[in-house]
Structure 1
Amino acid sequence: MASRGRRGGAPAREDEQRREEQAEQQAPAPQGHVLPPPPPVDYGVFMQGLVQAMQTQAHTQAALQAQLEAQLLVGAYEGCVAGES
């Protein structure tokens, strides 16, 4: 009996699958420029900035609301004055 290849037949296929799995597991080396890790974050400073931004947004929103109400009042007043004449 002359057999070709490895004894048992199936193990050759299993070896090939193992090699493919190992190749997938080994991540390729990064190509090109690698960025350094980001600097550590000071969350206290981050939170202060966030609170300041929210306060600024609230102030801006209040100012825009007041401006809109003033424009509506002026428009209503002009409409009343124009209607009287």
Structure 2
Amino acid sequence: MVSRGRHGGAPTREDEPRRDERAEQQAPAPQGPVLPPPPPVDYGVFMQGLVQAMQTQAHTQAALQAQLEAHIVLMSGVL
């Protein structure tokens, strides 16, 4: 037998709001000013900046690695 009732066995009424509808009605209104949508993204400029940042990071990492190796060589001569 198909039952239209909820877990407790009480039948649902057509004019009774469902739980999720009541939860939406009780949601608080947003506070503060409504912000305009963000400007559109120029993905070409974004990708150029990303590539430049990655190249800078690679150069910095290579320079730090060279400094570390020079420091290790220097310190091994001291000991």
Structures share fold, TM-score greater than 0.5: yes
- The structure number with the bigger radius of gyration is 1
Deviation at 1:22, TM superposition (A): 7.5
What secondary structure does 1:15 align onto?
Answer: coil
RMSD over aligned Cα, in angstroms? 2.6
Equivalent-residue separation in structure 2 for 1:22 and 1:74 (angstroms): 73
Once the two structures are aligned, what percentage of the paired residues are identical? 78
**Cα distance in 2 for residues equivalent to 1:55 and 1:30:** 43
Name the residue aligned to 2:75: 75
What does residue 35 of structure 1 align with?
35
Tell me, yes or no, if structure 1 residue 14 matches structure 2 residue 18: no
**Cα deviation code 1:49-83 (max 9, x no counterpart):** 0000000000000000000000000001111xxxx
Normalised to the residue count of structure 2, the TM-score between the two structures is 0.68
2:57 aligned residue: 57
> Following the alignment from structure 2 to structure 1, what is the Cα–Cα distance between the partners of residues 76 and 23?
75
The gaps in structure 2 that reach 5 residues or longer are: 1-10
Deviations for 1:13-38, whole angstroms, at most 9, x for unmatched residues?
A: 320226x737837x876442011100
Normalised TM-score (structure 1): 0.64
Q: Which residue of 2 aligns with 1:48?
A: 48
Letter matched to residue 46 of structure 2: F
